Chain A
């Protein structure tokens, strides 16, 4: 495959081509879904191949992608990619700038502790059946599901500058959920929450203590049916790491994707309130807030020796001591902004066009445990497990509902509330952050399903976070 991709790069060489790159991915995928303790779906695909060819001609990118890797089809893809660039250049006012980079080489293989594709299927199904049975409908529980997705992807990348990357990774997404009903109302609880994926194999089920938490989510979903709602207008809230990962994702991650500054995502995902003039001076958050993009950490799903346009993996401070310092960029956009490219151009599969994407976007840890943070909170709520999320197309106004809130009075949890909902404006919210837990609470929380781009792509990425506290947040939504 290495030789094949290099041959394609050689074929793309032409006087009018100022840059070209080629990606090939080979993906194995398996999905298992139990509903109400019955297996509803087992599906798999093995060795799905995809190829994408991107060329820069006359300052315009053209792209062609396919799942057919035959030599004859590759010739067609080269022609299509070229034609798309040449035709696209006719509807262009400003030629795309793309400063060259030195050639680099990357090689990486991630080996999970328990390879989900190698372990016996019977063993895998038996474990998941047991888990599904432990949360099957009974009492107030009227619906449940248990799901697992496993993916192994081998990726080859080469470009006309001589860079080459080869990597193999395994990702796993485990999830379980119960729905409780009293006949009129329903409430749900998941484990371990919305960002449950990870760069790991089947061991993720054990690491995330699924079996230990089955009873807990059944009890909490049932208790939520009779729980109160938050009645205050404003409250101090502590956000658990799983949900904070999504808060970070939506209100910092997408907001600092610099393609949005130039409107390249207006037609679908949206814009950003961030302007180039804010770099280096905008107070995005409180002084304790440090947020970085780090594609050099192999523990996160955003790890890569180089991105999908040949930029070596980097750790970049996006927010330092509360000040907006940098952006997630492509080579072209970094040049427009006068920045170093941040190694954030990624395509989900080889036949997808690379876009500015989050990799491992993290909040640096602060100090102390979650128990200490709760103990130091006089009156407030500890919110976790995402239920609803929504943010405007400038990434400025967000509203989140979590599955459950734990009421804090005088430093102790004294009860629960249902569907706690908070909303705010991004910079005001992050400036209200007065405490972030320490390394002992810090972990990666990851997703398979970050949607962006047209045609749409869903990216695998991670957020390293620890629980954090936010003061005086709006928690009253009148409906």
Chain B
């Protein structure tokens, strides 16, 4: 156990009137950002922080100490102990997390050490040379993180988890037209990175991007959503599956447990165990993180719920947080899905989505990084980026079919401390997707 964490725990154990949750986190990143097929900047960054929440009855207060030492801990603890009696009560607080179950130990490779900067720049340099033949330049990021979290509480919970996610995002941008296509890799095991397949897939998209650029009118389109889009829509849909959303009356799923809301082909699981994803051992309060079926053959099955809302709302506790979402694959081959579209769109990626009304799942957003026109079963043209305004519940209700394979899609969280998570999803064919305006730009 970290010395500072141990010090704070022993100090708190002198206060039997207090309950506590302590988190000590250490985080490092090596972050290569590139543009125009060259380095933009290289960043190495690290931090360590100790977070404590103290409870006295139904009163609580928290403090955070970056790069803690005993003097800072003594000061922060004294302040907190002195003030906790003055805090207003939260009548809904009952107790801290009591799930002491430990996850199966895993061997974690430190990918910052395993995947050096020279190897990153070699991979990017090779890809850049291949893209340059088509007048495309590369933009993106190649990141390795290494982070350890140690969580303790006054119920005896004592858990440590380590992650070392890798995130590679390569956007190929045409020098003149600015047409952009995207390829990504994410996971915690670089052995799943197939360099040849990655390059081949990127260049296949580059070839499609040579087509002429057109605009399309607003209206309802049959669309093929790339796995990244399906995963992102699923993430937004899952917002309403959080117990906190029910509590704030913003959940589409409130009162709909075990109702069929979607076609039988749609199943969604929060699965932290898939080795091809960035795995998680515990939820943020320390509850063991296990696969949880959220949508099963179109039926809504469970809210994601931690200790607090379990007591407040009476929902079953599972500790899931929706950070490892998987949409089940279907039966269709991608080429057949495209062939079946007479006139429609292939959408590669989404941008700047925001809820209009979370309870109704209505939102707006845009397409990005490769939107293509499908005519008579073939991708024929590049389309300027488009705005859609939709209800996500209707997007999934309008699924015609899913691809037979699911793909791992990494996402970076750029608000707060930089983190990487992943989802898995197949392509989806959707009817009546509501395009509301064109951006007139690519």
Contacts and interface: CB of A to CB of B under 8 A. Distances in A.
A423 interface: yes
B42 A62 contact: yes
B196 interface: no
B126 to A, nearest CB: 11
Contact of B43 (A63, A264, A387, A419): A63
B418 A454 contact: yes
Interface in B111-132: 117-118, 121, 124-125
Contacts of B87: 39, 42, 125
Nearest to A250: B352
Given A65-B45, A67-B48, A83-B117, 20 more contacts: A42-B87, A43-B61, A44-B61, A44-B63, A63-B41, A77-B44, A92-B38, A93-B36, A186-B250, A186-B359, A262-B36, A263-B173, A387-B356, A392-B351, A397-B387, A399-B436, A421-B356, A456-B415, A479-B434, A479-B436
B389 interface: yes
23 contacts: A39-B87, A42-B60, A46-B76, A48-B64, A61-B41, A65-B43, A65-B45, A67-B66, A92-B38, A143-B248, A143-B249, A181-B249, A263-B35, A263-B36, A266-B180, A388-B356, A390-B353, A390-B365, A399-B387, A454-B33, A454-B418, A455-B45, A455-B418
Interface in B44-66: 44-49, 53, 60-66
A392 B365 CA distance: 8
Interface stretch (B88-96, B185-193, B278-286, B397-405): B88-96
B84 to A, nearest CB: 9
Interface size class of A (residues with CB under 8 A): 35 or more
A43 B173 contact: no
Given A91-B121, A262-B36, A267 B366 contact: no
B270 interface: no
Nearest to A453: B414
Given A42-B60, A455-B31, A62 B38 contact: no
B364 A388 contact: yes
A393 B352 contact: yes
B413 to A, nearest CB: 7
Contacts of B42: 60-63, 84-85, 87-88
Contact of B171 (A267, A423, A454, A478): A267
Contacts of B333: none
Given A60-B39, A387-B356, A392-B439, A43 B62 contact: yes
A119 interface: no
A259 B49 CA distance: 32
A158 interface: no
B344 interface: no
Interface in A306-344: none
Contacts of B48: 67-68
B75 interface: yes
Interface string A56-90: 00001111111111000000010011011101111
Contacts, number: 268
Contact of A423 (B38, B248, B387): B387
Contact of A47 (B39, B72, B441): B72
Interface residues of B, number: 95
Interface in A247-290: 262-264, 266-268, 270-271, 273
B221 to A, nearest CB: 13
Q: Is the interface of B mostly helix, strand, loop or mixed?
A: strand
A394 B64 CA distance: 38
Contacts of B171: 266-267
Contacts of B353: 390
Interface string A405-443: 000000000000001010101000000000000000000
Contacts of A397: 366, 385, 387, 437-441
Contacts of B38: 91-94
A88 B40 CA distance: 8
B260 interface: no
A129 B60 CA distance: 15
B45 A125 contact: no
Residue among B40, B117, B118, B385 having the largest count of chain A Cβ atoms under 10 Å: B40
